[in-house]
Amino acid sequence: MTTNCPCGRAAPLAACCGPYLAGAPAPDAESLMRSRYTAYTLSDAAYLSATWHPDTRPATLNLVEEPAPKWLGLSVKSHAQQDEHHATVEFVARYKVAGRGFRLHEVSRFEMLGGRWYYLDGDQLP
């Protein structure tokens, strides 16, 4: 039995976010956002750093937390293209830490540089 990609699309990882995690450019901001969620579920700090806009990328990214979050699912609420090089994605990511449920609701901003999309920043919503 093949399980679907962590990003929530009805496709296995190898046919969904896997190619982006392996270095292929995401075709749009929503695909990049979904692949970044998948990278969080896999603790792939290298991919997250590589897809973070150079103007806002943190110097280091520590994904080792105790207790570690258990990612439960992603729901993309909207994806809007502002122009050729700018887009937003609104999403809700659900997770648990030490048995307690949380949700991250964010409108993320993305920018295309040199033919690749990058996560720029985001505003968390209640």
Please indicate, yes or no, if residue 1 is contained in any of the structural domains: no
- The answer as to whether 103 is a domain residue is yes
Nearest 5°: the CA angle 26, 85, 92 is 60
Domain at 67, CATH number: 3.10.450.50
pTM of the predicted model as reported, rounded to 2 decimal places: 0.94
Total domain count, the chain: 1
Residues of the chain where predicted confidence (pLDDT) is lower than 70: 1-2
pLDDT in tens, 95-126: 999 999 999 999 999 999 999 999 999 999 99
Classify residue 89 by its DSSP letter: E
* Tokens representing residue 85 in the block: 């090089």
Structure tokens at 52: 């973070």
Of 119, 67, 117, the residue nearest 95 (C-alpha) = 67
Q: Are 90 and 104 in contact (CB under 8 A)?
A: no
CA distance 108 to 48: 14
The boundaries of the domain holding residue 69 are 13-125
